[in-house]
């Protein structure tokens, strides 16, 4: 009967061939044990990593070893590699969601509030917030929330990072396949991307959705168009003359008119791809302030590197982007042109707000920040080595890494501008870093470094390559685990924090305000346009934290919320002393406030006036 079975079923079972999948399964089991045993209430200044036991790190190590076993097999098994990458995504992007009792990051709760407003009123609130001038993502989320029969979008918040990172995987697979790197380097680049993406832009937000749009556009363009092979007259391939002659062709009319690229797609697929891109352009231009400009620059880079045949797509995106800015977002830019263009070219101030001003706080926070810088710098260093080692048909990856930095010079996006710039180039940096370890040796554009000849050195390199690859992935994944959850001491919230916020929303009157000592609470998901939040600002100095009390007493909000997450931010980042909120609470209680409700991690103070019953003590 065996002659009637497919070849894959007739092969003898080999225990040796199951190592990769077996290690991945064991790793997932250890992850389940780790998240089940993690105690959120014991989190310290190091954040999430402080409550993860040894089982998490043992599982992550087994997973990386299993991935490398599969990656270095003579014949790649894509399904097994895909399974292992998915488990890696679960490790890095689902752990916080599984351990923490409620969704983290204040902005995700604020976005849920914007969606709630659209659900109730059927339109955005003009003039309330700049993000409402790009309401596309919020409107789509409101439609989805209504479609699934939910009263609000809060149910989407907690597991959204895992969902969106899994969604990124599909376009990343296409990008890796058509980017000009080898198959093994492509899988390694994907693993390095997920192992080093600590940037925390995958929470419930328009930028997370628009990064998916960004990846899909790049994937479609790379899959559709490919560079045409051509020779330079009287030049030796790889010589300086050959490289210079090819560089001069970057901005020629022939390249812009599409004579240096071609497509093998049929007419139906080609038209379908153009329609898909047009829809994505429209959605992105209406839903995010920065991504459309990143796409414009990236598409221009694809055009000059022969991966896009004509500039019409770029022109369409420019028209939609600036058309929406001029008309749909007019409530934002009228009177705020200085905020949009005021920092163009101011490199020193941008570096200060995006980099140097973040290297502050207690020792635990400084460790996290410095590890982030080292991880990003290390990946770029590996990417630089990959640039030197690889042969290719075009320098598309290098241009896609460099292009977003033009945004950094032109944008006015506050202290997160550099983070977004690094994120836009991260998938391509990871593929270049993979090329440092597994370089391609074929292509019109030859390697800038001499090839390693067959011999003792090449044999030694072949033997140590698997261990080197495993070490690179494991180090990146471990550092990302530490730094990605490094803010969770104040960026994540307890059930008591949420109960305190909801208690205030249940009792506050329209037009009244809620006083906060800083930004770190699950707040903003209710009362948009009706209830305001007043955040007291004070210098980052242990001697001046008492100014917060003065600011609150000057504003006299109807309710004040004091929470463990707010206190953690004050201690870890602002440099306030331990117990500073107890001192603040005692001061407020002698200046017109009373305790109205209390939980183990949060306290609600109410301005003395109309009474609503005895104080509430929560658990």
Domain match, 561 and 522 both: yes
The stretch 563-575 carries a mean pLDDT of 89
Residue 245 banded pLDDT, cuts 50, 70, 90: low
Domain match, 412 and 388 both: yes
Domain match, 296 and 306 both: yes
Closest CA to 558 of 617, 503, 599, 491: 503
The stretch 158-179 carries a mean pLDDT of 96
Mean pLDDT of the chain, nearest integer: 85
Torsion angle of the four alpha carbons 352, 567, 202, 210, in this order, in degrees rounded to the nearest 10: -60
Residue 618 has pLDDT above 50, yes or no: no
Residue 619 banded pLDDT, cuts 50, 70, 90: very low
Domain match, 421 and 509 both: no
Residue 412 has pLDDT above 60, yes or no: no
Q: Report pLDDT for 34.
A: 95
Residue 613 has pLDDT above 50, yes or no: no
Backbone angles phi, psi at 562, to 5 degrees: -115, 130
Q: Report pLDDT for 255.
A: 63
Domain match, 133 and 240 both: no
Backbone angles phi, psi at 407, to 5 degrees: -65, -35
Domain end marker among 451, 479, 503 = 451
Q: Report pLDDT for 352.
A: 47
The stretch 414-422 carries a mean pLDDT of 75
Residue 540 has pLDDT above 60, yes or no: no
Domain match, 424 and 317 both: yes
Whether residue 597 is contained in a domain is answered as yes
Q: Report pLDDT for 5.
A: 44
The stretch 420-428 carries a mean pLDDT of 92
Q: Report pLDDT for 248.
A: 58
Whether 457 contacts 407, CB under 8 Å: no
Provide the H-helix boundaries in 122-250. Answer: 136-147, 154-157, 160-178, 183-196, 206-224, 240-247
Domain match, 520 and 569 both: yes
Domain match, 153 and 168 both: no
Q: Report pLDDT for 232.
A: 56
For residue range 352-377, what is the model confidence (pLDDT) as tens digits?
444 445 566 678 888 888 999 999 99
Which range (6-10, 52-56, 243-247, 423-427) has the least confidence?
A: 6-10
Whether residue 5 is contained in a domain is answered as no
Domain match, 421 and 505 both: no
Residue 572 banded pLDDT, cuts 50, 70, 90: confident
Residue 250 has pLDDT above 50, yes or no: yes
Whether residue 245 is contained in a domain is answered as yes
Q: Report pLDDT for 359.
A: 62
Backbone angles phi, psi at 503, to 5 degrees: -60, -45
The stretch 494-506 carries a mean pLDDT of 95
The bridge status of strand 513-516 relative to strand 532-535 is: parallel
Its domain, for residue 558, covers 493-617
The stretch 470-492 carries a mean pLDDT of 92
Domain match, 146 and 251 both: no
Number of domains in the chain: 3
Domain match, 298 and 412 both: yes
Q: Report pLDDT for 11.
A: 52
Q: Report pLDDT for 190.
A: 97
Q: Report pLDDT for 9.
A: 46
Query: What residues contact residue 554 under an 8 Å CB cut-off, 6+ apart?
Result: none
Which range (415-429, 492-506, 513-527) has the least confidence?
A: 415-429
Tokens for 79, please give them: 């399904």
Domain match, 227 and 172 both: yes
């Amino acid at each position: 009967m065996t002659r009637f079975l497919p070849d894959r079923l007739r092969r003898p079972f080999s225990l040796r061939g199951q190592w990769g999948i077996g290690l991945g399964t064991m790793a997932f089991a250890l992850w389940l044990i780790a998240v089940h045993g993690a105690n959120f209430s014991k989190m310290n200044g190091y954040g999430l990593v402080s409550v993860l036991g040894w089982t998490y790190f043992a599982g992550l190590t087994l997973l990386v070893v299993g991935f490398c076993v599969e990656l270095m097999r003579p014949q790649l098994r894509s399904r097994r590699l895909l399974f292992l990458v998915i488990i890696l995504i679960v490790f890095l992007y689902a752990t916080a969601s599984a351990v923490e009792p409620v969704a983290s990051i204040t902005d995700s709760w604020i976005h849920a509030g914007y969606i709630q407003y659209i659900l109730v009123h059927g339109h955005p609130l003009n003039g309330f917030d700049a993000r409402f001038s790009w309401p596309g993502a919020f409107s789509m989320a409101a439609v989805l929330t209504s479609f699934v029969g939910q009263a609000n979008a809060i149910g989407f918040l907690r597991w959204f990072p895992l969902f969106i990172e899994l969604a990124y995987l599909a376009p990343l697979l296409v990008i890796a396949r058509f980017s000009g790197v080898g198959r093994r380097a492509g899988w390694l680049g994907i693993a390095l991307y997920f192992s080093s993406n600590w940037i925390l832009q995958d929470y419930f937000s328009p930028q997370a959705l628009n990064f998916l749009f960004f990846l899909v556009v790049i994937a479609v363009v790379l899959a559709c168009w490919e560079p045409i092979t051509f020779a330079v007259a009287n030049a030796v391939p790889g010589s300086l003359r050959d490289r210079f002659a090819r560089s001069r062709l970057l901005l020629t009319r022939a390249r812009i008119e599409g004579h240096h690229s071609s497509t093998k797609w049929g007419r139906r697929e080609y038209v379908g791809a153009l329609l898909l891109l047009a829809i994505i352009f429209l959605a992105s231009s209406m839903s995010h302030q920065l991504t459309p400009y990143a796409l414009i620059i990236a598409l221009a880079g694809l055009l000059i590197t022969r991966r896009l045949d004509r500039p019409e797509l770029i022109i369409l995106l420019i028209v939609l982007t600036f058309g929406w800015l001029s008309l749909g977002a007019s409530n934002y830019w009228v009177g705020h042109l200085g905020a949009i263009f005021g920092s163009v070219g101011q490199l020193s101030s941008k570096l200060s707000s995006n980099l140097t001003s973040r290297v502050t706080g207690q020792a635990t926070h400084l460790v996290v920040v410095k590890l982030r810088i080292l991880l990003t710098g290390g990946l770029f260093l590996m990417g630089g080595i990959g640039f030197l080692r690889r042969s290719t048909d075009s320098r598309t990856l290098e241009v896609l890494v460099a292009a977003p930095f033009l945004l950094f010079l032109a944008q006015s996006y506050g202290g997160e501008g550099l983070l977004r710039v690094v994120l836009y180039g991260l998938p391509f940096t990871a593929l270049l870093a993979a090329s440092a370890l597994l370089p391609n040796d074929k292509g019109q554009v030859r390697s800038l470094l001499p090839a390693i000849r067959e011999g003792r050195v090449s044999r030694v390199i072949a033997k140590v390559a698997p261990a080197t690859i495993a070490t690179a992935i494991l180090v990146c994944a471990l550092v990302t685990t530490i730094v990605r959850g490094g803010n969770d001491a104040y960026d994540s919230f307890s059930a008591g924090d949420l109960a305190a916020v909801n208690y205030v929303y249940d009792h506050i009157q329209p037009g009244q305000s809620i006083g906060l000592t800083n930004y770190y609470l699950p707040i903003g998901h209710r009362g948009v346009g009706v209830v305001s939040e007043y955040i007291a600002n004070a210098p980052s100095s242990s001697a001046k934290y008492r100014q917060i009390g003065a600011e609150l007493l000057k504003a006299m909000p109807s309710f004040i919320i004091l929470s463990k997450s707010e206190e953690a931010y004050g201690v870890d980042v602002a440099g306030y002393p331990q117990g500073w909120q107890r001192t603040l609470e005692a001061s407020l209680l002698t200046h017109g406030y009373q305790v109205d409700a209390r939980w183990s991690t949060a306290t609600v103070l109410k301005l003395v006036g109309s009474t609503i019953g005895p104080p509430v003590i929560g658990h």
